Structure 1
């Protein structure tokens, strides 16, 4: 069946010796510099992660965390790097009798990103750690011109910054509303990055930098202490995987929510979705309902496996997929959460592929825009507010415990064709990640869109009370759709009972980056989302 596909506004970026993509052009430039020096995909992705920690401070940072998938071409194997920090040792449910605050130092968990950078660089890096972090240090010390998007985020968070002099000094440095083109300097952060580079990450966890950070946090009422930092270690683990249309899709296991994407694809493979149009009410309804079913399983089972055990293997069987699909009504939207348990994030995605066949796929975050909005004293490090993802019900699998990793939304993916890499894909967007990646993969694998067409294609995002990651802080029962989706499809969704909210034509539903790899021709093809500031490069 033939379908009309919107013409992409940007070209597909292609090369033969490597490719990178991330949420900011200066980050992509840092990554491509590593590849040009003969560095690996991991060198490139760590350079980009450090760079966007400076130039996308509202989305990620040294005070954040994340997951990375690495395809090792020598071993022909995919690995997970878990760089998510746990709850501080002082963090107990009793500490939060009045609830977990959305902002401030008490909302911060242990920052894990730097530990993840160091662990993967030690194993797969080829360029020195000093060189890898050099672009980020330059951007911090010399400053960089802010984009319109960053100016909007800065101005929108100004009231929260004003609560802390250390935050105001950095993010309100202009003395007025920020405008695009303003030069943002972060000298204290640059000094901290130098310390991290010189110590290969150790100083943030067991050095002078750790002591200064924890002293500031504790003085301001937070919980991240030296013990919590010193006991953190990033882990290199085996990922989860599932087959879809002849490819193998890899996702990090819990505490990531990546299994949701795998379950969505396993259910979708039981359907002939290509018989529906790519923006039809039938397709969108079935995908939204499949998403809800997979999220119900997440609510039942997903948390830190060190505390609650591994996911049931049956979740990844065809039998389970068919059983859950039997609950889907083709003419009626499913209502609120159906599960045994009770009761919009800002993040960034990066991908890199090198000439030797190695691929890295990373999603890194500080949770909400500018995380806690709290800069830890003179370190220049903006901390996350990941504590908002905890449940305080002791019977919930994601209940808060000291040293436990929270259930995470970060879900980067790698796809293999046999034992060779076919794609790296991911997006920011909290719980929208496994929904948006799902849609873009369907666009490419079912409807034949190229990477740029697939990421520009109109999108939806589903919210359900009780399923949202930072419930009960915020959630609505709502299906958000970009207004480029045809009115007939929107009306068809409303007729099925979906509570539809029309967004702008280009809504804030993620920022997908894709590197697709043609192994036969040796070509890397990059798609980068125009909804934010993302750009891809190739050589």
Structure 2
């Protein structure tokens, strides 16, 4: 429980329903949907569509979506893979012949077919009561009438100014007056509003076929892309079962590959071998063990995880408790494990939304355009900011995550769901590119090993061991930083904090919900 002597956030409590998002306006939109009779899924889609307008650096209809849904908090958990594919013409030989050895992140080659819009429709069809025609109205109003830029969004906009100056149509659409907006500015996007209206009227067909798709393809092909109208028309959402592991008597669930949730599950399998409670929550030992677990899990992911049609090892084998034994047994508390350097192709950002309604339908929902402001490519006439998720591919023949025709890239976005004896206990997620598996592990172990509530668990200082360097937030004490350096960690400070997070915990005995939202973003938890 927080000390009220110091600045901080209280947990949010409610009986009926709750949402946690990265923007207060989106949280309010979700609550209004549920008050009007909508389900958790209806609320998540409305909030996400709105975030695609008011938090444009992180998400939008030009991106991808993953979700975990559990009806009434006790039913079968369903995983939705709304990630898009590379163009059918994307043969690795094409890139190698042109001496392209990694996907340029602001090129048309980084744009995979956006999967979010189709995923929204499919999830609503299965678990919603309202349609896109109603749920997109808050987003349409924000784009058409204008929205006020929030503080964290202005921070990111300023940091991406040079990228946007050099993008395709980005000066026109995203740099009003030739400069990034500041907090308090009002932004309008009439072309995007028109596109959202078309989707509200005609559903995904308005996005994947017809004038909107034609404009996206024309834009991409005009700057060297291989995309065709057929690539967009052929897109579908995949409905699967989640993958999971047990930690502290709780089952932790993730979407299967090409999502990277498996990485977080491997981290838990490693950390369960250690008694974290022996060490302080912000200590050299705890941060060292978390980094070593991450280094092992991320290495396994980069070697093996990809579009499941191209993986050479099955997920069950990786999740077997003994899979990482050869590395676990070498972990030492006084030195850094000697491992190959892992360099993932990208480190993007995203938005995460968690919603639980009065019937206890649970929705863990994540939507992203990959890097901040995606590919920095906006379609010519329709205002769609396109993701650069195909930047997650490798151009490396023989690698399971090598770019290929109509192939899905290894992703970074992961919604999580925690159950106890089959019943939902917590829906949560942590945003922040490659940080997400570490962030989810950090938040969960803060709660289960250190007794934090959901807000304290989210607030706790963070670190990410990435490309051989331990990136540490300013909240990590100097003594801990020095201790990590003494045992061999190279450390660095961060310009922006690591990710953001949202969580809702269900107390079935009391009939209440407890939510938390990350102070690293602009958002909040809100319930009624």
Q: Shorter-chain TM-score: what band?
A: over 0.9
- 2:34 corresponds to 1:31: no
Matches within 5 A, 1:301-340: 301-308=304-311, 311-337=314-340
Structure 2: runs of 5+ lacking an equivalent: none
User: 1:68 maps to what in 2?
Assistant: 67
Task: Please list the CA deviations of residues 297-337 of structure 1 after superposition, one character each: whole Å capped at 9, or x if unmatched.
Answer: 11221000122256342322232354431121221112452
* Cα distance, 1:34 vs structure 2: 1.1
Judged with a 3 Å threshold, the aligned counterparts in structure 2 of structure 1 residues 421 and 74 are, in CA distance, closer, same or farther, namely: closer
| 167-176 or 432-441: bigger deviation | 167-176
| 305-314 or 350-359: bigger deviation | 305-314
User: 2:470 maps to what in 1?
Assistant: 479
Task: Please list the CA deviations of residues 39-81 of structure 1 after superposition, one character each: whole Å capped at 9, or x if unmatched.
Answer: 1110011111101110110001111112111112286111111
Q: Secondary structure at the match of 1:68?
A: strand
Q: Is the 8 A contact 1:270 1:322 kept in 2?
A: no
Matches within 5 A, 1:277-356: 277-308=280-311, 311-337=314-340, 344-356=347-359
Q: Is the 8 A contact 2:168 2:376 kept in 1?
A: no
Q: Is the 8 A contact 2:2 2:8 kept in 1?
A: no
Matches within 5 A, 1:98-113: 98=100, 99-113=102-116
Q: Is the 8 A contact 2:463 2:473 kept in 1?
A: yes
User: 1:92 maps to what in 2?
Assistant: 91
Matches within 5 A, 1:186-335: 186-308=189-311, 311-335=314-338
User: 2:451 maps to what in 1?
Assistant: 448
Judged with a 3 Å threshold, the aligned counterparts in structure 2 of structure 1 residues 165 and 347 are, in CA distance, closer, same or farther, namely: closer
Q: Is the 8 A contact 2:426 2:505 kept in 1?
A: yes
Distance 1:368 1:281 in 2: 31
Distance 1:290 1:372 in 2: 31
Q: Secondary structure at the match of 1:442?
A: helix
User: 2:480 maps to what in 1?
Assistant: 489
Distance 1:160 1:448 in 2: 42
Judged with a 3 Å threshold, the aligned counterparts in structure 2 of structure 1 residues 375 and 389 are, in CA distance, closer, same or farther, namely: same
Identify which of 390, 393, 405 aligns with 2:393: 390
Q: Secondary structure at the match of 2:327?
A: helix
Distance 2:128 2:315 in 1: 34
* Cα distance, 1:342 vs structure 2: 11
User: 2:44 maps to what in 1?
Assistant: 45
Judged with a 3 Å threshold, the aligned counterparts in structure 2 of structure 1 residues 272 and 213 are, in CA distance, closer, same or farther, namely: same
* Cα distance, 1:343 vs structure 2: 13
User: 1:431 maps to what in 2?
Assistant: 434
Q: Is the 8 A contact 1:302 1:311 kept in 2?
A: no
Judged with a 3 Å threshold, the aligned counterparts in structure 2 of structure 1 residues 460 and 161 are, in CA distance, closer, same or farther, namely: closer
Distance 2:199 2:345 in 1: 41
- 2:497 corresponds to 1:508: yes
Q: How big is the alpha-carbon RMSD for the aligned residues of Structure 1 and Structure 2?
A: 2.3
Number of equivalent positions = 524
User: 2:425 maps to what in 1?
Assistant: 422
Q: Is the 8 A contact 1:342 1:393 kept in 2?
A: no
* Cα distance, 1:118 vs structure 2: 0.9
Task: Please list the CA deviations of residues 250-309 of structure 1 after superposition, one character each: whole Å capped at 9, or x if unmatched.
Answer: 001100110111111112112211111101111111111011111121122100012225
User: 2:161 maps to what in 1?
Assistant: 158
* Cα distance, 1:83 vs structure 2: 0.6
Judged with a 3 Å threshold, the aligned counterparts in structure 2 of structure 1 residues 454 and 75 are, in CA distance, closer, same or farther, namely: closer
Q: Is the 8 A contact 2:73 2:424 kept in 1?
A: no
TM-score by length of 2: 0.94
Distance 1:202 1:160 in 2: 31
Structure 1: runs of 5+ lacking an equivalent: 465-476
Distance 1:4 1:397 in 2: 49
* Cα distance, 1:6 vs structure 2: 10
Task: Please list the CA deviations of residues 76-111 of structure 1 after superposition, one character each: whole Å capped at 9, or x if unmatched.
Answer: 111111011011112222343324212133321110
Judged with a 3 Å threshold, the aligned counterparts in structure 2 of structure 1 residues 172 and 94 are, in CA distance, closer, same or farther, namely: same
User: 2:411 maps to what in 1?
Assistant: 408
Judged with a 3 Å threshold, the aligned counterparts in structure 2 of structure 1 residues 490 and 201 are, in CA distance, closer, same or farther, namely: same
